[in-house]
Amino acid sequence: MHVRFWGVRGSIPVSGKAYTRFGGDSACLEVRGSRGSVIIDAGTGLRGLGNALSAGEPQPIHLLLTHFHWDHILGLLFFKPLYDDRFRITIHGPLPAEETQATLAALMRQPYFPVPFASVQARLSFAHLREAETVAGFNVEAIPLSHPSPGQGYALEDESGRLVFLTDNELDGEPALDRYAAFAQNASLLVHDAEYAESEYALRKGWGHSSQERALELALRAGARRLALYHHNQDRTDAEVLAMERQCREKAALAAPDLDCFAAAQDMEVEF
């Protein structure tokens, strides 16, 4: 399984000298396996991925959406394959198919966007991904997210391993940790929301995000092999993300020396 991070920020994309190492695009992950590929989330990172896909031979595209907040869907409006009739795109959402279609079509209306939904040229279909299905050769499972907007996280598994993607997910208390630890059990790679430091989380409880400390606790309980800290706060500079990564690694070294904890960076690639 080959994983590439095309966007790792939360809330809003950022730019500037303080954000060059980890990047400024919002949530988008590409997962390639031996029998196909899947995209998770359509934040602004999707634009760059779309440019790369348009330059190659058209392949079926499967896009899994976690939820419909701006930082997870804005890139879809600038996704070149959407306007190219060579592509067949299936958008799998956490809501019934007709609701997902209506929600995304509403984005492409005046006065918000100049290109109408009718201008989409790709062969487009919508699906409601329920608890477990096969998508592009992956066994895909879904779990409801602990977040103010209804959504779901995903686990993708094939013969090479198990990827668990839980962003915009608040780990508030033992029941949540136990529930998500069971879902992420023995993950080859756990990608989890680490929007806050624990001191920040105390002031933002209920906002639907987690701290790096809670993400690490989840990884330990799940027996994950790797933990990617994800959904970096829009104001978190490279130096501050590095500091969070260092703290996570130090704590992981004491609790589980074999656990690889790192901060996800835009254009980073991971294989297992």
- Assign 108 a pLDDT band (cuts: 50, 70, 90): very high
Mean pLDDT, residues 91-99: 96
Question: What is the rounded distance in angstroms from the CA atom of residue 86 to the CA atom of residue 96?
Answer: 26
Per-residue pLDDT reduced to its tens digit, 54-84:
999 999 999 999 999 999 999 999 999 999 9
pLDDT exceeds 90 at position 124: yes
Mean pLDDT, residues 201-229: 96
Question: What is the rounded distance in angstroms from the CA atom of residue 105 to the CA atom of residue 125?
Answer: 12
Q: 161-166 and 152-158: which strand pairing?
A: antiparallel
Per-residue pLDDT reduced to its tens digit, 229-240:
999 999 999 999
Within 10 angstroms of residue 129's Cβ, the number of other Cβ atoms is 22
Question: What is the rounded distance in angstroms from the CA atom of residue 253 to the CA atom of residue 136?
Answer: 36
pLDDT exceeds 90 at position 118: yes
Quote the pLDDT of residue 123.
98
- Cα-flanking dihedrals φ and ψ of residue 46, to 5°? -65, -25
Q: What is the mean pLDDT of the chain?
A: 97
pLDDT exceeds 90 at position 127: yes
- Assign 130 a pLDDT band (cuts: 50, 70, 90): confident
Quote the pLDDT of residue 32.
98
Mean pLDDT highest for which of 123-132, 193-202, 217-226? 217-226
Mean pLDDT, residues 173-201: 96
Quote the pLDDT of residue 71.
98
Task: Return the DSSP state at 259.
Answer: -
Within 10 angstroms of residue 63's Cβ, the number of other Cβ atoms is 20
> What pTM was estimated for this model as a whole?
0.96
Share of the chain above pLDDT 70, in %: 100
- Assign 182 a pLDDT band (cuts: 50, 70, 90): very high
Q: Please, are residues 6 and 49 in contact by the beta-carbon 8 Å criterion? A: yes
Q: Which residue has the tokens 């989330």?
A: 41
pLDDT exceeds 90 at position 119: yes
Q: Which of 158, 219, 151 is nearest to 183 (CA)?
A: 219
Mean pLDDT, residues 87-93: 97
Residue type, 229: L
Mean pLDDT, residues 174-197: 97
Quote the pLDDT of residue 131.
80
